[in-house]
Structure 1
Amino acid sequence: MEYQPDLKQITGEGGVIASVTPGGLGATLGLKPGDTLVAIGQQRLRDVIDYRFAIAEESVTLRVRTAGGDEQIHQINKDPDDDLGIEFTEPLFDRLRTCNNKCPFCFLTQMPKGFRKTLYLKDDDYRLSFLYNNFVTFTNLTEEDWQRIGEQRLSPMNISVHATDPFWRGLMLGKRDVPDVREQIHRLGAMGIDVHAQIVACPGANDGEVLRQSIEDLLALQPIVQSIAVVPVGLTKYRFDGKRPSTIKAAIQVHETPDWINTNWEPQPLWEEQKLAQDQPGRPLHNPEMGFCSRLGAATDIPLRCYTGAEAAAVIDLIEPIGARCRTETGFTLVYPSDEFYLLAERTVPPAEQYDDMPQYSNGVGMVRDFLDLWARARRKLPARLAQPTSLALVCGTLAAPLLEQVAQRLRRIEGLTINVLPITNHFFGETVTVSGLLTAQDLIPVLRASGCTRALLPRVMFNYTGERTIDDYTLHQITEASGVPVALAGDPDELVRYVRALAYDV
């Protein structure tokens, strides 16, 4: 699960210190967890990026507010490469930039009520793109933001493009008058900023020839554009308040319901016609439909649905020849279908060299190939037998089950080890959600309880950024208690093999 800020820790008053390295410069100054670093010199700190730039001087003046509310000034001389040896509770110190788009496939509108509020956070902050590779749309930038990106060389930037054609990009973002992303990428290139691009493809909408044109437009922006990932739309059984829009139009309009607007940390703007009617009660709308959607016409009536296996194969067949051409011309593939397309189409993922240096790994591009190659090496360290008979479940989403079955075939050769691949059907979000990263403990626990296994390994991606909680807020301990099965996490083949080796000596 990608990094999500905790707004309770973003005070707007500076960086709240979470920890201080013993013996470090901060500890020498007497800084403590709970203190707030407000400014360095004349620079009031907006985020950890400002801190990194401001601290890289020989002489700095620190303005600190202690946890008790006292103000302190520290004047220090140091090596420019030395920092204070502190960590902050959050990387952002000031206001988070929220999203002003209404994407029809927005996952937040597909969430049920009742989760912790941070899971409904509609963020679109370019700083999180730089720090954590979050994808952002570049539709909410001010001129000051642009200047800062250039001055601090915040590279690379990860941009959700979805389509380069302004009409189709507007449709995919659910808003009109979106900036021309090609011009924005040109501007970033002039600043020396690299770009990684993402296209969330929806069948019958921004795929096919629209996708082909988007890819070619982005490739024409080399070397600014370093990579392009195409990922399939993900849809759950939920829409806001239990609705299930069947078209792009209906999914866009969900963003306009009062309940959804009130759910957000910040109220989202209404459509122009709606706001006009709201400001002037009794005035009829120009069109009973949402003004934006009605102006886009029939395109918004395209069904919003997931890809079939055959359609996934067609996307691969469109992209792979372009990637092969890029390898011939540049030595790099540059454009990649996500792993999910290969799994849906039941195609073999390409060899590692075709993924270059895995620039879009966190976007689900190359993870399967990396797993298979790591497994080929790690399995050599497996033990021949266990200290005592053990029945182990390998838990996963339904999409990854065939992949883990390959692993299980080798593990079954270990004497004393019984292996079961345990694909969990996602009843919580709907059976169309097949990835392991969106499994809930509520779906897992009853299956685990009935499995007959004495131990279980859970996918690390099932838990949040810190590895502590599932999306429905369960810890490993709570899952163990509720299922009666001891559970542990494994994020890669090496962790899996280390876990099995430990069983060989568990007496």
Structure 2
Amino acid sequence: MEYQPDVKRITGEGGVIARVAEQSLGEHIGLQAGDIIVAIDGQRLRDVIDYRFAIAEERVTLLIRTATGDEREITIDKDPDDDLGIEFTEPLFDRLRTCNNKCPFCFLTQMPKGFRKTLYLKDDDYRLSFLYANFVTFTNLTEADWERIERQRLSPLHISVHATDPFWRAIMLGKRDVPDVREQIRRLGKMGIRVHTQIVACPQVNDGEVLRQSIEDLIALHPIVESIAVVPVGLTKFRFEGKAPKTIRAAIQIHETPEWIDTNWERQPLWEDPTATIPLQSGSQPLHNPEMGFCSRLGAVTDIPLRCYTPVEAAAVIDMIEPYQRRCYEQFGLHLVYASDEFYLLAGRPIPPAEIYDDMPQYSNGVGMVRDFLDTWMRARRRLPARIARPTQLALVCGTLIAPVMEQIANRLNRIENLTVRVVPVVNQFFGETVTVSGLLTAQDVIPALRASGCDRALLPRVMFDYTGERSIDDYSPAQISLAAGMPVAIAGEASELVRYVQALARSDQE
């Protein structure tokens, strides 16, 4: 799951210290958890990036506000490479840059009510793109932002492109005044900034020839563009129930309903401006009708159904991408363009070998994760014990999409004497059966599946929990799931963690 900021802890007063390492420089000068670093050398800190730049001097003066509200200045002499040994509660100190788009596939409009507030936060902050590889759209930057990116050399950045043609990008972002992302990438290149790009593909919308043109345009921008990932749109049952947006147009217009128009991000203008026109493909005339809104002026284009990919369509996307990979490898020595793992699993195609993914530049975006897991498993399984003393039935919990891969793992584990492993693919009743990935499993679906599994222990996928590994999307901790399911549970995200868990079972039997 992407890093999600907690806006309650972004106060605008500076960086709140979460912890101070023992025997660190910060401990030596008396810093404590709860203290706030307001400024360094007179410069107020906006975020952890400012802190890293400011602290990299031989002499620095810190303005500290203690938990009791007292302020003091501390001047220290140090090596420029020395850090204070502190961690902050949040990487952003001033405010979160929020999203001003109305993407038809926006996951937040597919969420039910009642989850924790951070899950409804529509962030689009370029600083989180630099710090945590969050993908952002670059539609909300000021000139001051551009100047800062250049001055502090915030590279690489991660950009959600979706389509390079301004007409189609306007549709994919649900916004008529979309900057030309190709020009933005060129500008970054002149600054020495590199970018990773993603395209969230929707069937019959920005795939086919639109996708082909986007890939061609982004390849032409290499080496500024270091990777291009194509991932399939994900839709929950809440997309079609209640709000019932059956088309691209209806999905965009959800952002203008009373439920969403005054949410906790930047208020966005309605598209009923009678003087407005939209960018179209070269050679076309701008569409304009003073009696029609933005989506209506787009006509039949936005009447396309918003839906998930079929296996046949997923295979067609792979077939488009793989020739580009071969071409890029011949031309650049890397494959550059990648289909996400989900396309291969949906199409029933073999996962490509590791070399296809180069150095896994989009691993956290679900590109190469399965291959890495399988390769790591092949090495890690050599350390599996031959037997465990006590008969144990272990549930391997996963989403339905990855279940065939996990069956391969279970087959090997079942060769261990006294260990019976069952893959428990959990059908996502909460978000709907169209949601098949492990990262969106809820405890509410996992708990009854565990109770019905007949197992006495369970391993849960790490991706179903938040950035810290402490909470599922519906706010359950592993301990709460364990209590409700009536069995011990552990979490694992890598093959080596799975092997260590089995080794621990064997050791506990011997003790």
Q: TM-score of the superposition, structure 2-length normalised? A: 0.95
For residue 264 of structure 2, what is the aligned residue in structure 1?
Answer: 265
Partner SS state of residue 242, structure 1: coil
CA offset at residue 240 of structure 1?
9.1
* Counterpart residue type for residue 128 of structure 2: L
Correspondent of 1:353 among 343, 352, 355 = 355
**Distance in 1 between residues matched to 2:156 and 2:314, nearest whole Å:** 29
**Distance in 2 between residues matched to 1:343 and 1:176, nearest whole Å:** 35
CA offset at residue 294 of structure 1?
1.4
Correspondent of 1:458 among 452, 457, 460 = 460
Partner SS state of residue 272, structure 2: helix
For residue 253 of structure 1, what is the aligned residue in structure 2?
Answer: 253
For residue 2 of structure 1, what is the aligned residue in structure 2?
Answer: 2
**Distance in 2 between residues matched to 1:481 and 1:389, nearest whole Å:** 21
Contact 1:388 1:506 in 2 (8 A): no
For residue 507 of structure 2, what is the aligned residue in structure 1?
Answer: 505
CA offset at residue 267 of structure 1?
4.8
1:234-313, aligned counterparts within 5 Å?
234-239=234-239, 242-262=242-262, 264-273=263-272, 286-287=290-291, 291-313=293-315
For residue 418 of structure 2, what is the aligned residue in structure 1?
Answer: 416
Contact 2:390 2:418 in 1 (8 A): yes
**1:227 partnered with 2:234:** no
Cα offsets for 1:342-380 (capped at 9, x unmatched): 000000111111110000101000011101101111111
CA offset at residue 84 of structure 1?
1.2
CA offset at residue 420 of structure 1?
0.5
Alignment CA distance shift 1:307-1:240 (3 Å): closer
**Distance in 1 between residues matched to 2:417 and 2:64, nearest whole Å:** 60
CA offset at residue 483 of structure 1?
0.9
**1:468 partnered with 2:491:** no
| Unaligned segments of structure 1, at least 5 residues | 277-284
1:301-450, aligned counterparts within 5 Å?
301-450=303-452
CA offset at residue 76 of structure 1?
1.3
**Distance in 2 between residues matched to 1:467 and 1:302, nearest whole Å:** 38
**Distance in 2 between residues matched to 1:240 and 1:402, nearest whole Å:** 28
CA offset at residue 239 of structure 1?
3.4
* Counterpart residue type for residue 335 of structure 2: T
Q: TM-score of the superposition, structure 1-length normalised? A: 0.96
Contact 1:237 1:244 in 2 (8 A): no
1:128-207, aligned counterparts within 5 Å?
128-207=128-207
1:30-49, aligned counterparts within 5 Å?
30-49=30-49
CA offset at residue 274 of structure 1?
7.4
* Counterpart residue type for residue 52 of structure 2: R
Contact 1:261 1:267 in 2 (8 A): no
Contact 2:397 2:426 in 1 (8 A): yes
* Counterpart residue type for residue 6 of structure 1: D
**Distance in 1 between residues matched to 2:336 and 2:484, nearest whole Å:** 46
**Distance in 2 between residues matched to 1:121 and 1:162, nearest whole Å:** 21
Cα offsets for 1:318-337 (capped at 9, x unmatched): 00001111111111000000
Cα offsets for 1:176-210 (capped at 9, x unmatched): 02000000000000000001000000000000011
**1:480 partnered with 2:479:** no
* Counterpart residue type for residue 265 of structure 2: E
**Distance in 2 between residues matched to 1:330 and 1:25, nearest whole Å:** 45
Compute the RMSD of aligned alpha carbons. 1.4
Matched-pair identity in %: 75
Partner SS state of residue 506, structure 1: helix
* Counterpart residue type for residue 89 of structure 2: T
Alignment CA distance shift 1:286-1:55 (3 Å): same
Cα offsets for 1:449-492 (capped at 9, x unmatched): 12110000000001000000000000111111111011100111
CA offset at residue 506 of structure 1?
2.1
Between 296-305 and 238-247, report the one with greater CA deviation: 238-247
Partner SS state of residue 505, structure 1: helix
Contact 1:236 1:433 in 2 (8 A): yes
For residue 282 of structure 1, what is the aligned residue in structure 2?
Answer: none
* Counterpart residue type for residue 370 of structure 1: D
Alignment CA distance shift 1:261-1:267 (3 Å): farther
* Counterpart residue type for residue 356 of structure 2: Q
Q: Tell me the matched-pair count.
A: 496
Contact 1:137 1:159 in 2 (8 A): yes
Contact 1:112 1:241 in 2 (8 A): no
Contact 2:17 2:32 in 1 (8 A): yes
**Distance in 1 between residues matched to 2:29 and 2:98, nearest whole Å:** 36
CA offset at residue 241 of structure 1?
8.1
**Distance in 2 between residues matched to 1:78 and 1:410, nearest whole Å:** 54
Contact 1:387 1:505 in 2 (8 A): no
Between 68-77 and 305-314, report the one with greater CA deviation: 68-77
Contact 2:99 2:265 in 1 (8 A): no
| Unaligned segments of structure 2, at least 5 residues | 276-288
**Distance in 2 between residues matched to 1:464 and 1:122, nearest whole Å:** 16
Alignment CA distance shift 1:47-1:489 (3 Å): same
Cα offsets for 1:395-435 (capped at 9, x unmatched): 00000100000011111111101111000000000000000
* Counterpart residue type for residue 446 of structure 1: P
Between 232-241 and 412-421, report the one with greater CA deviation: 232-241
For residue 89 of structure 2, what is the aligned residue in structure 1?
Answer: 89
**Distance in 1 between residues matched to 2:386 and 2:222, nearest whole Å:** 51
